[in-house]
Amino acid sequence: MLALADEPPAIDAAQNVYFPYVLEIEAPDDLFDLLDKHLDLSRMETEKRMTREQLLRLIDNAPEAVSGLLSTEGYFSPTVKIKLGESSVPALVSLYVDAGQPTLVRNVDVNYTGDVIPDEARMKRLIDRQEQTWPLPKGSVFRQSAWDDGKRRVISTLLNRRYPAAKMLHAEASVDPENHTVDLTVDVDSGPAYYYGPLSITGLSHYPEKLVRNNIQFHEGAEYRRNDLLELQTYLQNLPHFSLVLVDVDLPTDPPYIAPVKVTVQEAPLSKISTGLGFSTNTGVRGSFDYRYLNLLDRAWVLDTGFRLQQKEQSFNAGVTFPRFASGYVHRVYGSFVREDIQGLATSTWKTGVSRSISDESIDRLIAIEYQMERRELNDGTVSDPQSLTAKYQWVRRDVDRIRNPRSGNVITLEGGGALKGLLSDESFVRLYGRGVQFWPVGEKSVVVGRLELGDTFTKESFNVPSDWLFRTGGSSSVRGYDYQSLGLSAGGSTIPGRVMAVSSLEFQTPVYKDWLGAVFVDHGGVGDQWKDWRGSTGVGLGARWVSPVGVIGLDVARGVEEKQFRVHFSMGVTF
């Protein structure tokens, strides 16, 4: 039932001056937000060019608009009253809504035709899944969004596996307004069952076909699964060799229903040079140069080299990455040199190694064997030259709502590795390390970020253990308010790494303007030779975050409580 409480005044066509108004909505609590968000009367309330003529037109259209909105929530017979009061400025528009009885689902009838009918196992899974996931069971309140979702689920279940030509023949929601019920009917034709046919690859000119074929996890004659094609396209698109990848199938309309798979690629340039400039409060001004070649020895091996020149650190690295094997693993050989002079400890480190890694949607795994030589010199002239042949395993899980600026979820990193004395190693040791970052959303846009790091290197004597397998901390992304790697052990006038480390952090971030966030934080952590000697230091401060297109760039001002000092932590990089 639609009714107007008062007849709106006659429109004065000549009146074209600003006519402000305030809208008051009286409606059930569960429907108020829907009306307040989507009604034109509500959205136009702050329009500075509103005239009386325009307002009367909105009032005239409001009952029909309210009825349309409420029908999406299962209310098909609302009573709507609207009144314009002009005795005050701004004018008062009063909207009263009685939603009436909700419309309940009386019957649900989903019918299948096509080749899926004799497929008894698949039919049973379809029926079981429908009973578990159908969003509008009998007796529930009809909602348009749930109805649309239910139809999508019915057809997508078939499209995703074996029946890519499935189509919806008929879908109807028949409303009985007198009894406030609705009968739902969906008729679906599965079409024929399809199986993979031969694979064809087009667009390759420099790389061997095995670069594509080794990444295919399905075989000719297997049943069609849309996820197979999506996963293949995603992986190939993420390879540096290709700038564009399309994976599709041809669906013949006549038997036999064998679907050839077509992979079309557009190759990326074979060589790429990147240079960069930046600054970090940890290591100072930075310049970088990188070169990558994508087809070493005409085998699609990726050669990458690069160097970094920073005030406190200089490095050079080179490596070759081999295309993914059919097992899903990626292998790499590499070498590097790093020179550092931080907190009175000068180190020169040479590394060479081989790694084996695999990644899925949320978990990365890596195994590496590495030989490392280091020259370490303290301020007092003490020199050591530890070497080690190590094995390492790393496991990383990312479970966050978004990568660039997470608001919920967590990232967990676990590492374990070590060396045996006498096996190209000066000391036996085992190193365990774990790091967890948790994001808790607060309100609509704020977030609390918690971080915990723990590490322990088990060895009789740390003097002959390379620095990379021990711990120092302090600086940005660690304990703010202290210089980079200034929290460690004191020896020979230098800060040297220790065997145990623990760091925790709690930070609250909230929006302040557009892509800018404000932050307040407290960090606590430190390093010890043993846990009984461990002492933590605390840093507290304020920060700003800019959510840029390439990631979050931060500026922090922190006070080191124990040292009674202020430090600014800032990092920014530009690559071109």
User: Residue 250: pLDDT above 60?
Assistant: yes
Predicted pLDDT at 15: 52
pLDDT of residue 279: 81
* Single-letter amino acid code for the residue at 104: L
8 A C-beta contact, residue 523 and residue 539: yes
Name residues whose C-beta falls within 8 Å of residue 239's C-beta, 6 or more positions apart in sequence: 211, 323
Residue 469's pLDDT is 97
* Mean pLDDT, residues 53-81 taken together: 93
CA dist 19 and 11 (Å) reads: 13
pLDDT above 90: residue 570: no
- What is the C-alpha to C-alpha distance for residues 370 and 230, in angstroms, rounded to an integer? 35
Residue type at position 542 = L
Task: Categorize the per-residue pLDDT at 573 as very low, low, confident or very high, splitting at 50, 70 and 90.
Answer: very low
Residue 354 CA to residue 356 CA, distance in Å, equals 7
Q: What is the arithmetic mean of pLDDT over 350-379?
A: 95
Secondary structure of residue 535 in the 3-state scheme = coil
- What is the tens place of the pLDDT at every residue in 254-301? 999 999 999 999 999 999 999 988 888 888 888 999 999 999 999 999
What is the chain's mean pLDDT, rounded?
91
Amino acid at 256: P
Token pair, residue 241, equals: 């060799």
In degrees rounded to 5, what are phi and psi of residue 517? -120, 145
The pTM of the whole model exceeds 0.95: no
pLDDT of the residue at 572: 62
- Given a cut of 70, whether residue 129 has pLDDT beyond it is yes
From CA 488, how far away is CA 473, in angstroms rounded?
A: 7
CB 531 within 8 A of CB 507: no
Largest CA distance in the chain: 100
- Where residue 203 falls (left for φ over 0; alpha for ψ -120 to 50; beta otherwise) is left
**What is the C-alpha to C-alpha distance for residues 200 and 197, in angstroms, rounded to an integer?**
10
Question: Which of 31-40, 106-115, 277-286, 439-448 bottoms out in mean pLDDT, i.e. has the lowest?
Answer: 277-286
Give percent helix, percent strand, percent coil of the chain, each to the nearest 5.
15, 50, 35
Q: What percent of the chain has pLDDT over 90?
A: 78
**509-567 tens-digit pLDDT:** 999 988 899 999 999 999 999 999 999 999 999 999 988 877 788 899 999 999 999 99
DSSP state of 53: H
Q: In the predicted model, what is the mean pLDDT of residues 125-153? A: 91
- Helices and strands (H and E) in the chain: how many: 7, 28
Q: State whether the Cα torsion 394-398-403-409 is positive or negative.
A: negative
- What region, left, alpha or beta, does residue 130 occupy, with left being phi > 0 and alpha being psi -120 to 50 degrees? alpha
Number of C-beta neighbours around residue 574 at 10 A: 10
Q: What is the mean pLDDT of residues 302-317?
A: 95
Whether 143 shows a pLDDT value over 50: the answer reads: yes
- Is residue 210's pLDDT more than 90? no
How confident is the model at residue 10, as a pLDDT?
A: 39
State which H helix or E strand residue 494 sits in: strand 494-496
Q: What is the pLDDT of residues 398-431, one digit of tens each?
A: 999 887 788 999 999 999 999 999 999 999 999 9
- Asked if residue 312 has pLDDT above 50, the reply is yes
CA–CA separation, 455 and 391 (whole Å): 17
pLDDT tens track for 145-174: 999 999 999 999 999 999 999 999 999 999
Query: How confident is the model at residue 561, as a pLDDT?
Result: 95
